[in-house]
């Protein structure tokens, strides 16, 4: 799942992905199934990995990818993009992006960065789902901007 801001509004896109035949069944972790609330069998009817990868690249374009777990998300993104022969894209760390966006020459913009992190506290109330997680990060980032 991914989310982005359009004129201050959060847009979320999420898809289940049918595992590619090159992906080992051992990569499916029963503990992750429980955390995400997605039984493995539900993915058999999901959109094929290649289709999701092409759609992802079309949607992202030249946009900056940001995650609060870039190493983990990068591992899965690499595998997804490999299904269509595309190289991995860089995923930036949310904390570094927030610091950069809400500071200047090492000086934090008063109150902005704290609003970002204040917005993140207590955010997960349901199953861990990529779209909702992305929405929460976008909302936290948006909270650092002044009200229009």
pLDDT tens track for 92-140:
999 999 998 988 776 777 788 888 988 876 555 555 678 888 999 999 9
pLDDT of residue 120: 79
pLDDT of residue 111: 82
Look up the pTM and report it: 0.85
Q: Which two tokens stand for residue 31?
A: 């503990």
DSSP string, 12-70: EE---EEPPTTS-GGG--HHHHHHHT--GGGGGGSEEHHHHHHHHHHHHTTPPEEESSH
* pLDDT 10s digits, 13-36: 999 999 999 998 877 778 877 877
């Amino acid at each position: 799942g991914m989310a982005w801001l359009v004129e201050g509004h959060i847009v979320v896109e999420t898809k289940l992905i049918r595992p590619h035949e090159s992906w080992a069944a051992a990569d499916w972790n029963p503990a992750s199934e429980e955390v995400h609330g997605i039984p493995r069998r539900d993915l058999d009817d999901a959109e094929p990995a290649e289709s999701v990868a092409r759609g992802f690249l079309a949607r992202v374009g030249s946009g900056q990818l940001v995650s609060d777990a870039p190493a983990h998300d990068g591992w899965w993104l690499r595998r997804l993009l490999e299904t269509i022969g595309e190289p991995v894209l860089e995923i930036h760390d949310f904390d570094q992006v927030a610091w950069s966006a809400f500071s200047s020459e090492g000086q934090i913009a008063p109150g902005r960065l704290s609003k970002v992190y204040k917005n993140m506290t207590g955010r997960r109330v349901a199953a861990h789902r990529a779209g909702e997680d992305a929405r929460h990060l976008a909302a936290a980032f948006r909270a650092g901007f002044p009200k229009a």
